[in-house]
Amino acid sequence: MSVRAMNAAVRASAPSHTAKLVMMILAHHHNDQTGRCFPSYERIAEEAGLAKSSVTRAIKELVAANLIQKVKGKRAGSFNAPNSYRLTFISQEMLDLERKRHRGYAHDGSAALPERETPTSPLHSEVGSAKKRVRSQRKAPRRRMTVDWQPSPDMRKKAVEAGFLSEEIERMILDFREFYIARGQVSAAWGMDWSRWIRRSVDHKEANNVRISTSHAAPGGRGDQRQENVRSSTDAAMEAVRRLQQRE
């Protein structure tokens, strides 16, 4: 049994009620893989509750209406092979549905299909405008660093809050400009890049302070060497003073 063929037979129109009944019996025996069915006249008449002559007449009506194609079976010895039928109303029904979808109608031809809106429909325009807004948000303008770039007052305030003096901030701005001009880099948010530059400068400054304090506190460091040199100079001066006193 083919559900697709049965649904197509229900929706298709037939020349007569008998032809409609025979068409549904053929759809019941339809094979979706081969695209054909092979019920005999006797089988159709038995299942439809009709006489064989009525089935023969209905088959002729369906063939004349181009709803089915009849392929006569070849004779094998003393027996005739059963006829086969191709249900053309299935493909015709699918074509009709496709035309209705393109026109914006549902399967029953009554309601519009929201997912197949035409390009000029309001829904399509709304979705299209939303896509354009998303694209515009993603593609922010990207600009190169200029030689006269200056941070805004809020950007300068961030540097002051980080503990930098005015002279240090001016030096940082100069280094910031020269660094990105030399690289030829473009950015859509130089303010965010400046914030990262401040954080890196703070980290670098703290690392230098730690290194200097460590070198002064470590045994044999520069601080100890300087203190040793001062003590040596003091001792030498005291020794010279004693010698002069002894000569006198």
Asked if 45 and 51 touch (Cβ cutoff 8 Å), the reply is yes
Q: Is the per-residue pLDDT at 104 higher than 70?
A: no
pLDDT of residue 222: 52
List the CATH code of the domain at 3-94.
1.10.10.10
Asked if 15 and 57 touch (Cβ cutoff 8 Å), the reply is no
pLDDT in tens, 84-93: 888 887 766 6
> E-strand spans in the chain?
68-71, 75-76, 79-80, 84-87, 143-144, 186-187
pLDDT in tens, 158-183: 888 888 888 888 988 888 888 888 88
Rounded to whole angstroms, how far apart are CA atoms 58 and 40? 13
Rounded to whole angstroms, how far apart are CA atoms 37 and 62? 15
Spell out the domain ranges in the chain.
3-94, 144-216, 218-248
Across the chain, what does the average pLDDT equal? Answer: 75
> E-strand spans in 100-233?
143-144, 186-187
Reported as a pLDDT band with limits 50, 70 and 90, residue 206 is confident
Q: Is the per-residue pLDDT at 50 higher than 80?
A: yes
